[in-house]
Structure 1
Amino acid sequence: MKTNNILKAIGILVIGILLGWAIFGGGSDDAAEHDHTEAGAETIWTCSMHPSVRQSEPGACPICGMDLIPLEEEETSTDPNVYTMSENALKLANVSTMKVGKSEASRELRLNGKVEVDERNAYSQSTHIPGRIEDLRVNFTGEKVNRGQTLGVVYSPELVTAQEELLQAYSIRESQPDLFEAAKEKLRNWKIGENQIQQILSNRKAIERFPITADVNGIVTEKMVDLGDYVERGMPIYEISDLSEVWVMFDLYESTMGWVNEGSEVEYSIRSLPGETFTGKISFVDPLLNSQTRVATARVEVDNSTGRLKPGMFASGLVKNNIGEAGSNEIVIPKSAALWTGKRSLVYIKEEAAGGAGFRIRRITLGPSLGDAYVVEDGLQVGDEIVVNGTFTVDAAVQLAGKPSMMNPPENEETPEPVGEILLSEEEKTKLQPVFSNYLSLKDALVEDDFKLAEKEAKELEASLEQLEVSEFGASAGAALESYKMQLENNMESITPAEDISALREKFDELSIVMIRMAQSFKPFSDKLYIQHCPMANSDRGADWLSLSEEIENPYYGSAMLTCGEVTEIVE
């Protein structure tokens, strides 16, 4: 019995081995292939502080020594120059695109100005009689006067003496005729008429008070004397202007002077007359530029016989200029589509990609500015689809992901060009400084974990951007500032609606990218500006900010990690 039991056990064991081999042995090749496939899907390791680093194994960053982290799956792409965004991300970023086409290129130039007195019809009314103002008949500016109207009465001791000399000379006129004529001529020099001279001689009495009469018709635009004042001969007492014709004077800044010429048609409106539009021609362009304001003027002469236009009224004008030859079509893109670095102009091209849309940066050559658009001379073809809204959001996301971007060109492009410095006058720097001051105040509020204060400072920054007039800067500075301002305004659209400090901090890094570029271009302060970096911000991708202090105070974490970061560059 024992022997039989042993034999049964051995038999069962052999059968089990045979069954196991039959079931599992045939799949060994597939298992080996599966293992090989899993081994082939290698993890890519990168540095949160230097996203350009790519390694197939974990370890330390060769640049900064930090531990490498796995690259997120959504960042991998068959083309390293293309950045992919999901449909949901596109909606959240409010990204929109358009297909490039050709159209007639015309520049619309907007001008600001005001109504002024026609200088040719302005008259300075002076007194020809020295003395004291005894009576003033015209007492306020804006009063209408007619030629010959009495404006005031003057008591003149000198004139009284001259009349007495006339009466004495009259008594000896037979023996001294020359003396008599000289006495009369003296009165004529004071514009005493012949009738008044005869009145003095017939009355045998000097006239003590003489009227001052208006020499022209018009409106008193300035009153220069008061009752009781002493006036000298030839002293102006009123400014009188004929307002039946006026000038509308438009300001021309350096960057716009080449687009306005004598004879250019202008369509304009007067702020005080809403709903009405007027047309006219530029009759004169000032050949001189004001050295202080850097502004010249363009004049439109206007018939104002109805008196509706008043000097001092503000006007807004529009001048249209055709670009290129008549009938020619140009590739025109909105200004919001172009990124400008100081030397390069770039756009983002949309491409089809799995799971969303791919974006590739492309260098273009810009032609003339058309107000809200640019002519593209090279780099785009009809049918290309470009980003026109959310361009700077896309660029910031691409840059933070370590892909080729505005400040990090593709490897096949020329050596990356640093942000070029643009020299500003002290006056231009003063106009730009409020933007940086408000940004730094916003940064300080984030450091203090004060959301209410950060909200307030964000609105102050938005207001300072609105008040920044690009046209008041030189040509090269104005072109760069226009691009930066558009980027910043786009950033502020996502910052000001933030409902808590975390949401605000998420958008602060994109704002800081533009502010840093602008600081490198313009160097707005005489003090040093420190570019500081936190490798842990932005989901361990790292983020930068500007500070006036070398000491690290982290706006992305506040008190939680106040000193996390380092100075990476100094703007002097």
Structure 2
Amino acid sequence: MNSKYKNIIKIVGILVLGFLIGWLIFGGDNAARLVDDEHAHSEAGDNQIWTCSMHPQIRQNEPGDCPICGMDLIPLETTGAGDDLGSYEMSENAMKLANVQTMVVGQGDASREIRLNGKVQVDERNSYSQSTHIPGRIEQLSINFTGESVNRGQTLATVYSPELVTAQEELLQAASIRESQPELFEAAKQKLRNWKIGEAQIEQILSGGNALERFSIRADVNGIVTEKMVDLGDYVERGMPIYEISDLSKVWVLFDLYEGQLAGVKEGNEIEFTINSFPGETFEGTISFVDPLLNSQTRVATARVEVNNEEGRLKPGMFASGIVTNTSFGRPDIQELVIPKSAVLWTGKRSIVYVKAKDVENGGANFQLREITLGPSLGNSFIVEKGLEPGEEIVSNGAFTVDAAVQLSGRPSMMNPSLEEENSPNTLTVTVQEEAEKELTKVTNAYLSLKEALVKDDSQLAKVNATALEEVIKNVQTSTLDKDAKTVWDSYRKELGIAARNISSGEDISEMRNAFIGLSKTIIGLVKTFQLSNETMYVLHCPMANNDRGADWLSQSSEVENPYYGASMLRCGEVSETIN
């Protein structure tokens, strides 16, 4: 038995010794790794940046709520992080999920087709105002409607003219003494000639011995009557127009040119066009004139095409659609750098693209933000004047998705092109001019009036003040803000407007106070972001509000007057922050 127990003890001892050796070999390394991991996690926690998923411009070095929308801040995305702040790395899987596509930039002909719309118009050179050379009353109209064809010499109207009757009587009297006073007789005849009375009519008057009471107005040109300006019985003065007559054997087709098309359409360009009245038929012409003046109201110029219309098929007012082909927007005989519109992101003042800097081991890519200068638009593409070189690879599809990921990583992006690493842990601040500060201060003043109504437990006044706050928010003059400041204000405006609307539509003061929680968070963020505190302001905190989760509000006084409870717990709260 003793031998048996000895064997058992030996076996147990060997097992214990084996466990001890295994722990020393493997357990020590694991313990060391745990210590290292804890140390690394501690360091990561110390340097962790927190942001808002809806408003990535917010960056803080500790967790909390977004000052704009009140959402919980999340740890800043570290995917794509590296030592180079100017670049961002995406994995192959991330690029596939975001449908990110790239293309190599190349040179090509900067040409495209330009589609134009226009109308058939009368050739102004062949338009004539038929005027009367005889003053008097219209006794008869031979042409009674527009569109009627007339020939040169055709009688258009008959006029009774008392002045002309008197002149004829003077002629007859002068004819009786023309042997003794030929000069007087010649002067009387010339007076009639000045009224365009022909020699044949003058001889008719002399041979008849009586004055003619009615004279005819005859057409000076061939054409179509496009406007009738007198009616039967009207009195007309000498030189007054009575008809507008146009020769439509040649017409103009005037096409509208918008400002963006002026650079691509020039005199001499060939154009193919169709007329809506003749489906399936194509006309060809040459642009003979481009209007040097731009209409200040419509913001368009016109391109003129002269068309032979001997058959009279084209009628003024018909709509036309034309295409100018082989239109060059670049410099003559030079290949231009062209990129698709989908590759470009606009911020108002700047145009940017994402350039693929290099491939990475996991099949992904490293992208860099690049600001470029764009030339004319070519429909679905742009000429690049500056910022890219042939052979560089850019994001052609999914550029906005790449930029969103870059924003969340706290790196330079479309909205923050010059972001510095040392500024990334801080909440965004925007400096505005005095006029803009006054506009935004109107919002905070309206908020303070609403807060006072809640302090007084006055739900009716709170509803009125909340409605007034909505109007103030809508009427902020954004013309006083620059582009970047306006982008930030738009984020605040939306959140403030929703909160104010929720308060104004609240059924009782309890609902209004619940909505006031989010409004206060946003208004505090607004004051800090735009640095609106010319005078000292205070952020006060009530730990019992918001179902014991606590809530803040903004005040011009450090004295506690609680808007969440009013008179029931007026002094509940304390100053949590002073804004100087």
Unaligned runs of 5+ in 1: 1-5, 422-515, 534-543
1:376 corresponds to 2:384:
yes
- Any idea what SS the aligned residue of 2:233 has? coil
- AA at the equivalent of 2:522: G
Q: After TM superposition, list the pairs within 5 Å mapping 1:338-417 onto structure 2.
A: 338-341=344-347, 344-350=350-356, 354=362, 359-409=367-417
Name the residue aligned to 2:119: 114
Show the counterpart of 1:30: 29
> 5 Å matches for 1:50-69?
69=74
**Aligned residue among 212, 217, 223 for 1:218:** 223
The match for 1:46 is 49
Distance 2:342 2:74 in 1: 35
Query: What SS class does the counterpart of residue 141 from structure 1 fall into?
Result: coil
- The match for 1:298 is 303
Map residues 485-564 of structure 1 onto 2, 5 A cutoff.
Answer: 531-532=488-489, 544=491, 546=493, 553=500, 563=519, 564=521
Q: Would the aligned equivalents of 2:495 and 2:522 in 1 still touch at CA under 8 Å?
A: no
Separation of aligned partners in 2, 1:110 and 1:314? 14
Where in structure 2 are the equivalents of 1:43-192 lying within 5 Å? 43=44, 45-49=48-52, 69-72=74-77, 74=79, 80=85, 81-82=87-88, 84=90, 96-106=101-111, 108-192=113-197
Cα deviation, residue 226, structure 1: 1.8
In structure 2, what residue type is equivalent to 1:329?
Q
Q: Distance in 1 between matches of 2:56 and 2:298?
A: 46
Give the aligned partner of residue 283 of structure 1: 288
CA distance in 1, matches of 2:59, 2:257: 53
Any idea what SS the aligned residue of 1:565 has?
A: helix
Segments of structure 2 that go 5 or more residues without pairing to the other structure are 424-428, 433-476, 507-513, 533-580
Q: Deviations over 1:268-287 (max 9, x none)?
A: 44454444444433333444
Give the alignment's Cα RMSD to 1 decimal. 4.9
Provide the C-alpha distance between the structure 1 equivalents of 2:145 and 2:405, rounded to a whole number of angstroms: 64
Do the aligned partners of 1:121 and 1:241 also contact (CA within 8 Å) in 2?
Answer: yes
The answer to whether the Cα contact below 8 Å between 1:147 and 1:217 also exists between their aligned partners in 2 is: yes
For residue 103 of structure 1, report the CA deviation from its aligned partner: 1.9
Deviation at 1:28, TM superposition (A): 1.8
Aligned to 1:323: 330
> Shift of the alpha carbon at 1:152?
1.8
Q: Percent identity?
A: 58
1:337 CA displacement: 1.8
- TM-aligned CA deviation for residue 383 of structure 1: 4.5
Residues 274 and 281 in structure 2, CA contact (< 8 A), matched pair in contact too? yes
Tell me, yes or no, if the aligned pair for 1:529 and 1:549 is still in contact at 8 Å. Answer: no
Indicate how the Cα distance of structure 1 residues 132 and 403 shifts in structure 2: closer, same or farther if over 3 A, else same. Answer: same
Who is 1:565 aligned against? 522
1-structure distance, mates of 2:366, 2:143: 76
Q: SS of the counterpart of 1:347?
A: strand
The TM-score, its normalising length taken from structure 1, stands at 0.64
State how far apart, in whole Å, the 2-side matches of 1:17 and 1:30 are: 20
Normalising by structure 2, report the TM-score: 0.63
> May I ask how many residue pairs the two structures share in their alignment?
452
Q: C-alpha distance in 1, partners of 2:500/2:367?
A: 35
Q: 1:279 to 1:146 in 2, by over 3 A?
A: same
Which has the larger Rg?
A: 2
Over 3 Å counting, the alpha-carbon distance change for 1:531 and 1:382 in structure 2 is: closer
> Pairwise mapping of residues 441-460 of structure 1 onto structure 2 (< 5 A)?
none
**1:345·1:365 contact (CA, 8 Å) conserved in 2?**
yes
- Identify if the C-alpha distance between structure 1 residues 104 and 173 changes in structure 2 by more than 3 Å, giving closer, same or farther: same
Which deviations, in whole Å up to 9, do the C-alpha atoms of 1:318-370 show, x marking residues without a partner?
261263353x4333112332234465432123565648666432233444544
Q: 1:240 deviation in Å?
A: 0.8
Q: Deviations over 1:470-526 (max 9, x none)?
A: xxxxxxxxxxxxxxxxxxxxxxxxxxxxxxxxxxxxxxxxxxxxxx99995689xxx
How far is 1:127 from its partner?
0.8
Write the distance in 2 (CA, Å) between the matches of 1:518 and 1:548: 20
Partner amino acid, structure 2, of 1:162: A
For 2:174, the aligned partner's letter is A
